[in-house]
């Protein structure tokens, strides 16, 4: 068998096991992951690795599949992801469920594709706050399920870096977490009432799905179905809905929300996303390049000559994955390597800024955001992030201008189009949320 055939065989088997259609056009990413496993097991070739996956060469096939699945899953997540979802959960969904269950005093909640547990724990925090003193008299069951054993181990540990806590203020961090060291927070015991277990969501479509996967009042399955083919994603959405109690709620990720409506709408998911990434035409009201934009300038010259393959192959996905795993040093290295290779990629500068912020590098972050905006003046998320940096430095007038630009850019897009680098949030939701922020800032002035 040729190397290409072996690769096709492994990739096909992987897609069947995980449902991750996603890897059909992410060959380079998958090749890199396979290379890591071949190296880790000190094997001579990919063909030898294929034998390992079949239980040959003295290895247990299931153990190796799980290792590989851990490597290929993308666990990007953070606490209180999607402010609009958490506003709805706090203001209406959970109070409604609590009222509905005032008699039996029990709630069953499922976070499937829970990654490092941030989503399930965010729900635990909100429920505990909503129930207050009554909490002890309720039976609250929250289950976090994920295919990745590595993600589940992190979830059980409940230790997080600044990247996973990026939406929390310092005050909130100290209410919900204890600080272990300057870079690590651990969730307080009071919010740790979540059970984690390995689950493959595809089992919902098997002839005999696990018996316990039913009778939920709330299911969160956010940013998981994006990796599946549209027909599988639609079938899974239906199956999830069938697992809800009467009056229960299913929350999907922003980019997946159309699946709830009509399968026909779900099909162009990816195309819609890609279209939305097209730079917006320049508008007269967009700000001119900022006078102090520190561009062009050589970036990370030390890295331009780096030939080692992982860095050279750095992609935005890998930058995000490293940051998500709490490995900020590597995330920074990867973002710098990506910038060295593609200096005109505004998104790379944007992520570079986000990573700098984790280490309190406000100056660096501001410069990186200005570079991103120099390259793409229509980058609403970068304007918004710049506004937050400026606010934290008490430069409110500049921050307000940046917020205004972010709102106008979003209003210029169709309300239901996803914002580029906006984690699936639509332009309408983003514009409204930023407008509320601006209003708040103006009224506080």
Ligand X SMILES: C[S@@+](CC[C@H](N)C(=O)[O-])C[C@H]1O[C@@H](n2cnc3c(N)ncnc32)[C@H](O)[C@@H]1O
Can you tell me the distance from the alpha carbon of 102 to that of 116, in angstroms, rounded to the nearest whole number? 31
Shortest Å, Cβ 308 to ligand X: 27
3-state secondary structure of 246: strand
- Give whichever of 199 and 335 is closer to ligand X, judged by the CB atom: 199
From the CA atom positions of the chain, what is the Rg in Å? 23
Compute the half-sphere exposure of residue 6: CA atoms within 13 Å on the CB side of its CA.
16
Whether the bond into 296 is cis, omega within 30 of 0: yes
- Give whichever of 167 and 362 is closer to ligand X, judged by the CB atom: 167
Q: Binding ligand X by CB under 6 A: which of 30, 52, 68, 73?
A: 73
Q: Binding ligand X by CB under 6 A: which of 101, 107, 113, 430?
A: 113
202 binds ligand X (CB under 6 A): yes
Interface with ligand X by CB under 6 A: which range of 3-11, 47-55, 68-76, 337-345? 68-76
- Give whichever of 10 and 339 is closer to ligand X, judged by the CB atom: 10
Query: Which strand ranges, in their side-by-side order, compose the sheet holding 177-181?
Result: 159-160, 184-187, 177-181
Q: Binding ligand X by CB under 6 A: which of 6, 22, 67, 75?
A: 75
154 binds ligand X (CB under 6 A): no
> Contacts with ligand X in 116-145 (CB under 6 A)?
119
Which residue in the block uniquely carries the two structure tokens 């998320």? 381
- Yes or no: say if 351 and 368 are a contact pair by the CB < 8 Å rule: no
Q: Binding ligand X by CB under 6 A: which of 30, 52, 53, 76?
A: 76
Q: Binding ligand X by CB under 6 A: which of 77, 356, 376, 437?
A: 77
- How many residues form the binding site for ligand X (CB under 6 A)? 25
Instruction: Read off the tokens for 293.
Output: 């934009």
What character string, x for contact with ligand X (CB under 6 A) and - otherwise, covers 207-246? Answer: ---------------xxx--x-------------------
- Yes or no: say if 286 and 139 are a contact pair by the CB < 8 Å rule: no
Instruction: Read off the tokens for 159.
Output: 């230790």
Interface with ligand X by CB under 6 A: which range of 57-65, 75-83, 204-212, 384-392? 75-83
Q: Which residues make Cβ contacts (< 8 Å) with residue 153, sequence separation at least 6? A: none
Q: Which residues make Cβ contacts (< 8 Å) with residue 168, sequence separation at least 6? A: 79, 80, 176
Q: Which residues make Cβ contacts (< 8 Å) with residue 5, sequence separation at least 6? A: none
What character string, x for contact with ligand X (CB under 6 A) and - otherwise, covers 19-38? Answer: x-------------------
Q: What is the binding site for ligand X (CB under 6 A)?
A: 18-19, 73-77, 81, 113-115, 119, 146-148, 151, 199-202, 222-224, 227, 253
């Amino acid at each position: 068998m040729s190397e290409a055939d072996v690769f096709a065989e492994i990739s096909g088997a992987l897609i069947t096991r995980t449902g991750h259609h996603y890897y059909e056009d992410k060959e380079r990413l998958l090749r890199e992951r396979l290379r890591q496993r071949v190296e880790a097991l000190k094997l001579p070739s990919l063909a030898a690795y294929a034998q390992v996956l079949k239980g040959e060469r003295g290895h247990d096939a299931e153990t190796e599949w799980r290792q590989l699945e851990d490597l290929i899953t993308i666990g990007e997540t953070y606490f209180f992801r999607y402010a609009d979802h958490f506003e709805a959960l706090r203001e209406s969904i959970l109070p409604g469920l609590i009222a509905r269950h005032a008699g039996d005093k029990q709630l069953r909640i499922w976070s499937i594709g829970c990654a490092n547990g941030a989503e399930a724990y965010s729900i635990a925090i909100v429920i505990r706050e909503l129930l207050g003193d009554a909490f002890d008299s309720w039976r609250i069951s929250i289950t976090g399920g994920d295919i990745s054993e590595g993600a589940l181990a992190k979830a059980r540990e409940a230790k997080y870096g600044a990247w996973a806590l990026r939406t929390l203020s310092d005050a909130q961090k100290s209410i919900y977490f204890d600080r272990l060291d300057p870079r690590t927070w651990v969730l307080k015991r009071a919010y740790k009432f979540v059970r984690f277990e390995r689950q493959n969501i595809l089992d919902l479509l098997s002839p005999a799905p696990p018996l316990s996967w039913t009778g939920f009042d709330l299911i969160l399955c956010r940013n998981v179905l994006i990796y599946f083919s549209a027909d599988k994603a639609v079938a899974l959405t239906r199956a999830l809905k069938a697992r809800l109690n009467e009056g229960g709620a299913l929350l999907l990720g922003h980019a997946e929300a159309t699946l709830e409506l009509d399968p026909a709408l779900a099909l162009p998911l990816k195309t819609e996303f890609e279209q939305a990434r097209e730079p917006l035409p320049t508008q007269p009201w967009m700000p001119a390049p900022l006078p102090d934009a520190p561009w062009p300038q050589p970036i990370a010259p030390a890295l331009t000559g780096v030939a080692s393959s992982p860095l050279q192959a750095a992609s935005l996905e890998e930058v995000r994955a490293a940051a998500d795993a709490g490995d900020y040093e590597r995330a920074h290295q990867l973002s710098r390597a990506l910038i060295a290779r593609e200096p005109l990629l505004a998104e790379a500068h944007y992520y570079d800024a986000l990573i700098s912020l984790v280490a309190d590098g406000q100056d660096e972050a501001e410069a990186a955001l200005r570079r991103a905006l120099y390259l793409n003046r229509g980058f609403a998320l970068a304007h918004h992030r710049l506004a937050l940096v400026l606010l934290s430095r008490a430069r409110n007038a500049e921050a307000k201008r940046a917020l205004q630009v972010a709102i106008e850019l979003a209003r210029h897009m169709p309300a239901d189009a996803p914002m580029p680098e906006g984690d699936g949030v639509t332009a309408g939701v983003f514009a409204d949320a930023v407008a509320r922020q601006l209003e708040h800032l103006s009224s506080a002035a």
